A and B are shown apart, each in its own frame.
Chain A
């Protein structure tokens, strides 16, 4: 008999043995129940009929969104109506963490999403059920790798996007503290949704203005710019001559003046 079993048998008649056993049993039972109930839960989500998805979305909406957007998404003084914005808009705003807003500043900023994918999908389904609007995009629809043309996308980006988002998609300033965010590192579907829904200060680029194929080209160019190595050395933020000027006055001239001081230092 080894030492462990010996100790167990020594304490089996201890006065706390029975309560400890009871607690252990309860915990393991609860844990098993949790796991058992969680597993089918997610699979049930996938097979949820649409009406229950919408109900789930309505529940989340009532909890997390209605205080600003109104109980029936009709909008209020501080937030717009969501009737007719479509699932694409919800997927973009909630999926990139912009909604719910952290504070009432000029513009909702990108942050870690508060709702997970299922919750976002439920919210989108609920908002889409209110009135027709652009549908959410899934990544599989975005065949830009196959159907896009990088160079054409670059031209389209410079014509339609660069004036706010900068030539390299690094983002830029708008008036009164609003800004065009960077498009680098943004999921392709969110960029696409932004183009078709025009979030915040951004205009809507309908399929008539920029055709779906052209949108794919833009995506392809953005993704190519994102992965393009910095061909000339350190990129200095890809923001133009301001950082170059800063570097020349600090490192460039600083280094040269430092050397001049060294060259003219009195020999000791």
Chain B
């Protein structure tokens, strides 16, 4: 044994004698994780969160979260001697007078966008594969909470520099607070410490942005990961994979290397974006001034759908008992997002209620094998996409020579018409894909090779799938519709009432499937014409 090794053994032995860490480490370092690209979406989010913490800490060294008025005297000439808030002046200082400051600011903002985009992509993966099912409902709820808080955190972040675009965003946030019936104006005064814009808001949101929300994120992410650890990772179905095992590679050394390397890749991509692409060029926007606004005031993309909803709202207002209720802000700004996020959070429970499925699931479903859920997901995405388009209606109008009114009417009608269409189409596509799978299992893969038989007939050679492929394509469950009793023991008709009828109807829709070929069908075919 070399000297170095001997020292290592001694140190490890010393620690193990006192903590018993070896046993715990052996158990956890050999923990197995399944391998799939879509399982790394969450990692992208985690790593961009770390990048956000690091770059954000750097920015706080110089950022002055104050709305005190100062006169700019920095190196950006076109704003020389302009009155502005200390927050904006210090953000300019970071951009132009701190070494690496602009790069760090851009990395921080790009990382925030990757954080949000990664979360949405991760959420879509979890939804479309059914990974949220029992026992992972709690983790789904945490995820929905993280997305919600992420939207708030991002909004607060780009509101901090107090440039023209930030201020416009804060003004809209104030309008949404004010739209709350009765208490709205009081709440707005409370949040802003007086009339808009005041001097209190930026210092306050700074504390929330750098202290409160990151702490909550850290706590939620920790619980999120611990739950993944203890509940084990889900896996895609395949030969040898069951509800009781996890097939993959051990944490040490495979995932340590992969995940560690991936962290640096995420950091690299973020730094690359920060280095080559401008983001939030606050010096061009100028300082916030309530008397100014710019054409094309848009929020970041994760708020864009809210902006789109507000933009498409018809001008509805009622005045009653001395209070004005601005439905045009209240509905798109609070009620619709509230309904959407509640439905999203409750979806695991809704699905479990519809299907009556209370079992644990560790094997994921291919999206096509659960057509109803996939269609619901696609429908929701199409809704968000349509309103997001309206959020950028002015830019779409100028860049594609359309009129803003056409786009608004297209999205106003589209937001009602398109999602149901997408639901139906997606469901049919899923069922067709199931049919294609069935065809493939029973008749093999089309090879494109044409053979002329001796009597002149042409046939295409079909290549039989391997047993593993056949298993993967046929292993999914064939769910049965929930049986809701027509009458109970005393002969009372329809004992569960309207709720029971609804549940039976939903369950019926949820189980619609093309039946996977059974073993006997396959055998029959084999003896038949092969």
- A: residues with CB less than 8 A from B are 106, 150-151, 154-155, 158-159, 162-168, 170-177, 179-180, 221, 224-225, 228, 230-236, 238-242, 244-245, 247-249, 251-253, 255-257, 259-261, 263-264
Q: Is the pair B295, A172 in contact by a Cβ cutoff of 8 Å?
A: yes
Q: List the A side residues contacting B274 at CB < 8 Å.
A: 233
Closest to A252 in B: B114
Q: How far is the CB of B9 from chain A (nearest CB, A)?
A: 33
Looking across the interface, which residue of chain A has its beta carbon closest to that of B300? A241
Give complex CA distance A255, B81 in Å: 42
A192 to B374, CA, bound (A): 57
Given contacts A166-B296, A167-B286, A249-B117, contact A228 B78 (CB under 8 A): yes
B515 interface residue (CB < 8 Å to A) = no
Assess the A263–B40 pair: CB atoms within 8 A: yes
Interchain Cβ contacts under 8 Å between A and B, 26 examples: A150-B78, A154-B286, A158-B294, A163-B294, A166-B294, A167-B295, A170-B296, A172-B294, A172-B295, A173-B404, A231-B96, A231-B283, A233-B277, A234-B276, A240-B298, A242-B296, A244-B109, A244-B300, A248-B117, A248-B301, A251-B273, A253-B117, A259-B269, A260-B40, A263-B37, A264-B36
| Distance to closest chain A CB from B472 (angstroms) | 14
Question: A-facing mask of B14-45, CB < 8 A → 1, else 0?
Answer: 00000000000000000000011111110110
In the bound complex, how far is the Cα of B262 from the Cα of A231, in angstroms? 30
- Looking at A154, A180, A221, A224, which has the most chain B CB atoms within 10 Å of its CB? A154
CB distance from B274 to the nearest CB of A (A): 8
Contact count band on B: 35 or more
Q: Measured between alpha carbons, how far is A165 from B402 in the docked complex, in Å?
A: 17
Which residues of the partner chain A approach B270 to less than 8 Å between Cβ atoms?
252
Q: How far is the CA of A221 from the CA of B164 in the complex (A)?
A: 17
Q: Whole-angstrom distance from the CB of B371 to the nearest CB of chain A?
A: 25
Cβ B398 vs Cβ A171 within 8 A: yes
Q: Taking the complex as formed, is B292 at the interface, i.e. its CB lies under 8 A from any CB of chain A? A: yes
- A158 and B164 form a contact (CB under 8 A): yes
Q: Which residue from chain A places its CB closest to the CB of B394 in the assembled complex?
A: A173
In the complex, the chain A residue whose C-beta lies closest to that of B169 is A241
- In the complex formed, the residue of A with least CB distance to B262 is A263
The verdict on A248 contacting B110 (CB below 8 Å), with A154-B79, A158-B294, A231-B102 known, is: yes
A231 touches B265 (CB 8 A): no
Q: Which residues of A contact B395 (CB under 8 A)?
A: 173, 239-240, 242
Q: CB-defined interface of B378-408 with A at 8 Å, one 1/0 digit per residue? A: 0000000000000111110110011111100
Pick the residue among B41, B80, B301 that contacts A241 (CB under 8 A).
B301
B165 CB to closest chain A CB (Å) equals 7
Min Cβ gap A256→B in Å is 5
Give A102 to B331 CA distance when docked, in angstroms: 44
A244→B280 contact, CB < 8 A: yes
Q: Which residue on chain A has the smallest CB distance to residue B391?
A: A242
B40 adjacent to A245 (CB under 8 Å): no
Q: With A176-B405, A232-B106 as given contacts, are A256 and B265 in contact (CB-CB < 8 Å)?
A: yes
Contact of A174 among B39, B293, B392, B404 (CB under 8 A): B404
B300–A173 CB distance below 8 A: no
Is the contact region of chain A dominated by helix, strand, or loop, or is it mixed?
A: helix
- A259, B265: Cβ atoms closer than 8 Å: yes
Please tell me if the beta carbons of B397 and A179 are within 8 angstroms of each other in the complex.
yes
* Pairwise interchain contact B295-A244, C-beta atoms closer than 8 A: no
- Most A CB contacts (10 A, CB to CB) among B36, B77, B291, B404 go to B404
CB interface residues, B 24-71, toward A, < 8 Å: 35-41, 43-44
B338 within 8 A of A: no
CB of A151 within 8 A of CB of B80, answer yes
Give Cα distance in the complex from A179 to B29, angstroms. Answer: 62
Instruction: Check if B145 is an interface residue, CB within 8 A of chain A.
Output: no
B281 contacts chain A at the CB level, 8 A cutoff: yes
> Nearest chain B CB to A177's CB is how many angstroms away?
3
10 smallest CB-CB distances across A and B, nearest first, come from A172-B295, A245-B301, A232-B278, A177-B403, A173-B394, A167-B294, A260-B40, A173-B397, A248-B113, A260-B37
Tell me whether B258 is interfacial, beta carbon within 8 Å: yes
Q: Check B266 for interface membership: any CB of A closer than 8 A.
A: yes
**A260 CB contacts on chain B under 8 angstroms:** 37-38, 40-41, 43-44, 262
Quick check: is B343 within 8 A (CB to CB) of the other chain?
A: no
In the complex, what residue of chain B is closest to A167 when comparing beta carbons?
Answer: B294
CB of B221 within 8 Å of the partner chain = no
Chain B residue at minimum C-beta to C-beta distance from A245: B301
CA distance A162 to B261 in the complex (A): 45
In the bound complex, what is the Cα–Cα distance between A251 and B273 (angstroms)? 9
Known contacts A106-B403, A232-B278; A165 and B392 CB within 8 A of each other? no
Contacting A at CB under 8 A, from B225-278, are 258, 261-262, 265-266, 269-270, 273-278
B278 touches A230 (CB 8 A): yes
Alpha-carbon separation in the docked complex, A235 to B81 (Å):
25
- Quick one: given A176-B405, A225-B284, A260-B44, are A171 and B301 in contact (CB under 8 Å)? no
* Residue of A154, A167, A225 ringed by the most chain B CB atoms within 10 A: A167
**Chain B residues positioned under 8 Å from A151 (CB to CB):** 77-82
Provide the bound-state CA to CA distance between A176 and B279, in Å.
30
Least distance between A161 CB and chain B CB atoms (Å): 9
Q: Are A235 and B301 in contact (CB under 8 A)?
A: no
Q: How far is the CA of A93 from the CA of B270 in the complex (A)?
A: 46
Asked whether any CB of chain A lies closer than 8 Å to the CB of B285, the reply is yes
Contact B78 A238 (CB under 8 A): no
- When distances are taken between beta carbons in the complex, the residues of chain A under 8 Å from B40 are 260, 263-264
Picked from B77, B118, B398, the residue with its CB within 8 Å of the CB of A172 is: B398
